[in-house]
Every structure is written in C-alpha cells, then in structure tokens.
Chains A and B, each alone.
Chain A
Amino acid sequence: MVVLSLTVYYFVTRYTFTDFYRRLETRAMLAARITLENESSSNAYREIREQILEKLPQEKDYLFAIEPGKTFLEESRELNLPVSFFTNIVNGNVSEYQKDNVFFAGAKYDDDTKSYITIASAENYYYSNHLVTLKRILLVAVIFVSVLVFSASIVFSRYVFYPVSQITSQVKEIGTQNLHLRLNSTSQNDAINELKNTFNNMLDRLETSFATQNNFISNASHELGTPLTVIIGEAEVALSKERTTAEYKEALTTVLHEAERLERITKSLLFLAQTGFDGKKQKMEILRADQLLWDVKETIDRLNPKNKVFIDLSLIPDNPLKLKIRGNAQLLHLAVSNIVNNACKYSSNQPVQVSLATTNNQVIIVVKDNGIGIPEGELDYIYDPFFRASNTKNFEGYGIGLPLARNIMRQHLGEIVVTSIHGQGTTVRLTFPLEIVAGYFIS
C-alpha cells in the first residue's frame, strides 16, 4: 500500500512538473514573439495569449538580448536565478528552474538578426494545491486500508484457526486419568477432521498400551505367583509333621518341578525384554530360509517327537539366491520354532504345514495348523505378554512365545500376520525382506 502510494505520488509530481514547464515554455516563446515580431503578427499572438491561454498565477515574462561576452550576472542576481540557467539557454538548450513555489522556464529565441533569452515564470498552482490534496488523500487511504486489512485478517484468522484452538483445548483436557475421552469428529471430510481422527487413533493406541501395561503386571504377578504358591504350600504341608522319605521325595519333586517352571518363565521374560530393545545390536548374518526351517524342524523333533510337522517346499524358487534373508540365526530360530511349536501344541499334534515361498522382495513362511484356533474377538490381544486365549485352558503355556516372536520379527524388519478361524485352525504368515546377495554366491 505504502509503496503504491509513494509511486503514485512520485509519478504525479513528475508529470505535473514537466507539464508545467512545457506550459511556461510556450508562454515564454509567445512573449518573445509578442515583443519582437512586427505589429500585425504580434497582435495576433497577443490575442491568442489572452483569449486561449489560461492566465497562470503570478505569471511574468522576461526578455534579454544575447550579446557576445555578456555574462548575465546582473540578471541572475535580479531574478535570483543561478548563472548556469542563462548559460544553458545561450548554448541552445531549454532551462528549467524551481524556486519554492515559483517555476522558471527559459528558451532561446532567434530573431532575424539577434538572439534573445526569453524566460517565463509562474507559481505552480498544481504543485501547491493539487499535490497537497493528493498527498492527504493517499495518506488517509493508506491508513484506512491498513486498518481494514488488519481487522479483516484478525477476524479471518480467528475463523480459520477456531477448529485448531478447539482441538488444542480438548486435547489439553485429556490426561492419564481420562484416556477414554475422544475429540468430537464430524462427518466432514477435511484436513481438520483428519487431524482429529489421527488424534483419536493415537489415543486409541495409547489407551490400549496403557491397558496392556496394566494387564501385563497383573498377569505377570499371577504367573509368577502360582508356582510360588505351590512351592510354599507343598513345603508347608511337608514340614507340618514327620514324613517318610518317599513322601519327602514326592514333595521335593513337586517343588523342583514348580521351581523349574518359574525359571522358564523368568528366562523367557528376560528374553522378551532383551528382544524388545531396538537399540541393542544383534549379530546379523545371511541365512537361507529353507535351512532355517529344517533346523526348526530338527529342534521340534527333539522337543516333541510326536509332532507331524510337514515342510512344503513346492513353491520355493529355483534360484537359491531368492531364499537369502539377513538375520540373527538364534533369534529367528527361536521365533519360528515358537510358532511351529504352538501350532503343534494347540492342534494336539495334528499335521502342521510349513510352507516357503518368495516374491521379488520378500521371503514368506506360512505355518498352518488345524488346531483350536483363536476366538475372533481375542485376535487383537495375542501379542500382549501373558495373554492367553480363552480356549487354551487345557494347554500348558504362559503367553510369551508370540510376543517374543513378534519382537524378533520387528527386529528383522519382518512382519507377522495371524489369521484364524475358531475351532478350525490358525495360519501364521511371516514375511522377511529378501536380502540381495551378489551373483557369485550361487551354490
């Protein structure tokens, strides 16, 4: 705005000046003609001047003859004009000069015999009056428009940011005590609503993780407490009176059994905690996925000789390079054997099918059993430590295997997807990124 006003003012001023100088010049030439031409034409000129040209305020004409050697010092002193003004005219140029409000314009006039300097001066009415008005108008306009723009922008920004400030105030209200609160999202499909939904999703996740945390503590204390209770009870009963050696032996066996269970739980907990750390560096090496499966099969055979694990290699690629994955052999072995072991356990040693396939950037392992499955509503909780589905009462276990497997898969940038139909079986899909190995490795 300010720049615009200044530009307008500058150009109007310039235009007024040049325009006024042109007018003065015309008058100067006319004045010279009136004085110097013969009578008839001088009369005609005078008529033109008086009838057609507007009389300017404070209009005056001067006429000086140019004689060789004349310096115009006196004239310049008399009119209060610089000497350069006159010399400029003598050299054939048009001279212009401004003194406060009075403007001078001069030109050279050539008669038949002599040359003259003719000068006209007048007060610039446009400069003194019009430009001041223009200045005032522009100033008022600038102030007015600034105020208008400023207030409009404040109103507009309030209007635009209203939903955001609403979100801010609503989010501020949500603390650890009332995590169940959600932002009111509308059905409108705009960025603000998307933001609200994102916040709500985040709150969902937060709430779930809080709930998981609480669950974990209660489950853990329960799982650790049960063997301890058995040990204490057994010991108390055994100590209550004299027993035979056989009875002591039996009691100690129970105690040992429970203590071993306790040890297994704490060990697996420790493992879970270790694999949960992302920053911890594991030794990574390049493995063949089919080799991994055979190793797992061997382990399962040792642990559970009655298993019917069937490794299906009908879809593995011809090219062994497409079976390479990068990972820690022990951890991957642990994860896969956990899943295969679960499959055997919860299907009471019915056939378990383990298949392997690769796409151009992934290695996929699918473990499928025909076991008891997972109830639909409980699929969301299977990765919570110590969670056990409601239909697993008859199976031994403490709900650490799957969370552990998922932690390991995460470390290997892999993915684990569990689909299950209650009563019909469970399918676990493990996806690993395929490791690109240089071509010379073909065996």
Chain B
Amino acid sequence: MRTILIPTDFTSVPLLLLKHAATSMNEELDVIFMYSTTLSDSITDLLFYSPKKIIAKVISQDFSEGCIIMQNRYPDKIQSIRYEVFTSAHANSFAMLAQANNVDEVLLPMDYNFHLKHLAFDPTRYIIRSGVPVLEVDLRLPVRISEHDLIASLMTN
C-alpha cells in the first residue's frame, strides 16, 4: 500500500498523473488530491471554514467523472481517492500535512503551469523544499491543452 499525493488544480493534468502512477507503480494506491488555496480574509468565511465546502466549490463534475473513469480502469490498484486542502504557503506546513497523511510520494508534473482560479496558488516550491519524496513526471503534454472538455483531454492524452 502506497499513499501518493497529487497537487491538483482540477484540470485533466492531475488525473493524467494519476493514470501515470496507476500504470507505472506495482502497488495498491491511496490517492490524495491536494488543492492549495489561501483562505479568504472574511471573518465569517473563517468562522465557517470547511475543507469539504472549499473542495465542493472548485471541483467540477467532469473531474469527479474522470476520477470514476480511473477507478473503473484500475479497480484493483486505486484503493481510495480523497481530497486535502493546503492553506499555508510554508514548506514546514506541507511537511506536516504529508506526515499526518502518511504520504509516501508526491507526484509533480514537469514543466506545467497550474491553472489558478479564485485564491488558489501553485504549491510546487513548498513541496520541493519540504523534503518529502517527489516524483516528477514528464507527461509530454501538448503545448496547449484544451480545458473545454476535461474528460476528452484526459482520454486523449
């Protein structure tokens, strides 16, 4: 059993990383999709802070369907998929999050710019500095990846 963490911007790229992991690793996988976002300044928002709500706000139907496609394809490999919210821009706090979730490895896409919406940020440098084992994957993505149809781009890349 291996726990992998994939920083996600809810495009097809994290799913393609998952696909890569499922094809290349010979172990059962616990998958954590980590969404990195700064918190809102509003006191009310902080009072009613809920990671579930934050995820629900940004996740798309296509992304969840993509997860189901992957689970259907590799039912024996992918044991579970869950989501984490990473809110502080520090290497230490990422190391703590990784430790708390028993993360064995972090998968990062090579040469990829995150699609950042709302308050999201790119956690790559904190992940690299944290000392958690990182696997950089060259997805050989086309220069421009169509985000109109997430499932189609998941299926054709």
Chain A contacts to B: CB under 8 angstroms:
312, 314-319, 322, 353, 355-360, 362, 364, 366, 368, 417, 419, 421, 424, 427, 429
> Which residues does chain B contribute within 8 Å of A419, judged by CB atoms?
146, 148-149, 152
Interface of A is mostly: strand
Interface of B is mostly: helix
> Which residues does chain A contribute within 8 Å of B70, judged by CB atoms?
315
How far, in Å, is B134 (CB) from chain A's closest CB? 25
Q: Which residue of A lies closest to B72 (CB)?
A: A317
| Alpha-carbon gap, A357 to B65, bound state (A) | 10
Contact partner of A417 (CB less than 8 A), chosen from B144, B149, B153, is B149
Contacting A at CB under 8 A, from B109-157, are 144, 146, 148-149, 151-156
Q: How many chain B residues touch A (Cβ–Cβ < 8 Å)?
A: 20
Establish whether residues A312 and B155, one from each chain, have CB atoms under 8 Å apart when the complex forms: yes
How far, in Å, is B28 (CB) from chain A's closest CB? 15
Establish whether residues A421 and B72, one from each chain, have CB atoms under 8 Å apart when the complex forms: no
Q: Is B68 interfacial (CB-CB < 8 Å)?
A: yes
Chain B contacts to A: CB under 8 angstroms:
19, 65, 68-70, 72-76, 144, 146, 148-149, 151-156
Q: Given contacts A427-B146, A429-B149, are A368 and B69 in contact (CB under 8 A)?
A: no
- Offer 17 A-B interface pairs, CB within 8 angstroms, sorted by A: A312-B155, A315-B154, A318-B73, A353-B156, A355-B155, A357-B69, A358-B69, A358-B72, A359-B65, A359-B72, A366-B149, A366-B151, A366-B155, A417-B149, A421-B144, A429-B151, A429-B152
| Alpha-carbon gap, A131 to B48, bound state (A) | 65
How far, in Å, is B155 (CB) from chain A's closest CB? 4
Q: 20 other contacts beyond A317-B75, A322-B72, with CB at 8 A cut-off? A: A312-B155, A315-B69, A315-B70, A315-B154, A316-B73, A317-B72, A318-B72, A353-B156, A356-B155, A357-B69, A357-B151, A359-B68, A360-B68, A364-B155, A366-B152, A366-B156, A419-B148, A427-B152, A427-B153, A427-B156
> Which residues does chain A contribute within 8 Å of B69, judged by CB atoms?
315, 357-359, 364
Establish whether residues B156 and A357, one from each chain, have CB atoms under 8 Å apart when the complex forms: no
> Which residues does chain B contribute within 8 Å of A355, judged by CB atoms?
155-156
> Which residues does chain A contribute within 8 Å of B153, judged by CB atoms?
427
Establish whether residues B155 and A357, one from each chain, have CB atoms under 8 Å apart when the complex forms: yes
How far, in Å, is B157 (CB) from chain A's closest CB? 9
> Which residues does chain B contribute within 8 Å of A429, judged by CB atoms?
149, 151-152
> Which residues does chain A contribute within 8 Å of B152, judged by CB atoms?
366, 368, 417, 419, 427, 429
| Alpha-carbon gap, A417 to B61, bound state (A) | 15
Establish whether residues B149 and A364, one from each chain, have CB atoms under 8 Å apart when the complex forms: no
